[in-house]
Chain A
């Protein structure tokens, strides 16, 4: 009998550590935003996993409305030296997942849970949040650096077989209902089509803004008098490229500022309010200023000063001095005039930020925006250079463009404030 007790006691001693190990909770830290559709899907999936894996403990942190949680997420990113471009952001053990894609991220998450159950895993976030409670010499690495990461953004997919594309895998079950048939274009997925379409529309409407067009017309009028046609083309193209470059830098700065601060709700509300104001102004101009089919005359001699400088730059004997001068002038003039269309790029940058895209996609969308923004400039430049006759673009539709732009801005403003999830496409 005594031996039997001894045997049971020894057996228990051997088994208990395994039982304890099996019952160890696996902490999943989910950083999410209220109204973010991807977050809601991941949350739902994690809840369903909890039934299957009782050891799973989900710790949720809302970051759109909770400033402390947003700061906490940034601190974790900083501590682990990783960049978080958006939510949902999930950390399990030593692996993190940015974005969510049904059928792809879900499998990776479940694999990670199984791996933690079978082999154990260091609670990297727990070590940062609760350093004393989670101190375990067996599991703690020297420094809390994630050993493996999955970022579900397409730009990182190419080199790493573990990484998956959030846009490809998502909403497979819903895709049928989101497709429409268009003549000539065939079947189009509305969600995939919405952001490019919105980019083109806003870029085009922004381009109607005549703020920077006057400088180009000044320049073209000077270029037309040049004998050296090659120089004429190079200087003109340099001006247009430099102007596009300024706009690109400006929009990228807006985007990065919003991505940096974008996890807080007040910035979205401010930009939404700017959109509402800009929309109301556009509609007011349509109804109360019927005589806007023309060029507004501004007081002061700003235009004349720019014209004189352009003339000086163009007439430089050295080609390189002219080229450098044109680029610098394009930067200065466009930087000054940018204030005139600050509303639309900021609103658009906020929409981009909401869409949880990869870095190269963000910049590709900005380029698409700028292409349509500069369409009128390109038209005027090429037609004038080819025909050698000054060409202008009619201003008679500018009144209607203000109405369309105003209505669009009102809608976007309302959505940014009350229903941002409707602006999250793809």
Chain B
């Protein structure tokens, strides 16, 4: 499983989520994530239809198919729970 993180430098909520994700990544070294900037990575933004709320976290399975999409700020515990539920996909 892989998580695509979409955020922007002007988005306060994205800045709040940044350290939370850093902690999760540190605690779960197996987790693969990629970050895309809303203003600079337009190709990915358009590909995944990121057009309403930031930050957005898109979960992809091993075949790069989207399995889940989370919007806005999420508590660390809840995020960890969702990640663990989808770990083997």
Contact = CB atoms under 8 A, between A and B. Distances in A.
B13 A297 contact: no
A296 interface: yes
B13 A390 contact: no
Given A294-B55, A297-B52, A210 B72 contact: no
Contacts of A295: 8, 10-14, 53-55
Contacts of A217: 9-12, 15
A297 B51 CA distance: 6
A296 B12 contact: no
Contact of A395 (B39, B52, B72): B72
A395 B9 contact: no
Interface in A277-296: 291-296
Interface residues of B, number: 21
B59 interface: no
A213 B12 CA distance: 8
B71 interface: yes
Contacts, number: 79
B24 to A, nearest CB: 17
A218 interface: yes
Nearest to A222: B9
Contacts of B12: 210, 213, 217, 295, 380, 392-395
B10 A214 contact: yes
Contacts of B55: 294-295
Nearest to A216: B10
A272 B13 CA distance: 33
Identify the interface centre among A215, A295, A392: most chain B CB within 10 Å of its CB. Answer: A295
A297 B38 contact: yes
B4 interface: no
A297 B72 CA distance: 11
Interface string B36-69: 0011000000000011111100000000000000
A218 B16 contact: no
Contacts of A395: 12-13, 16, 72-73
Contacts of A292: 53, 72
Residue among B9, B38, B50, B51 facing the most chain A CB atoms (10 A cut-off): B9
B89 interface: no
Nearest to A392: B15
A228 interface: no
Contacts of B9: 217-218, 221, 307, 390
Interface in A368-408: 380, 390-396
Interface in A146-166: none
Given A291-B71, A304-B39, A394-B73, A297 B54 contact: yes
A50 interface: no
A214 B10 CA distance: 4
Contacts of B76: none
A59 interface: no
B15 A294 contact: no
A303 B39 contact: yes
Contact of A293 (B18, B38, B39, B72): B72
Interface string A196-225: 000000000000001001110110010000
B18 to A, nearest CB: 7
A297 B45 CA distance: 12
A406 B71 CA distance: 24
Nearest to A376: B12
B52 A390 contact: no
Interface in A170-220: 210, 213-215, 217-218
The 6 closest A-B pairs by CB, nearest first: A392-B15, A294-B72, A214-B10, A392-B12, A295-B11, A294-B53
Given A392-B13, A392-B14, 5 more contacts: A217-B9, A297-B38, A297-B54, A303-B10, A304-B39
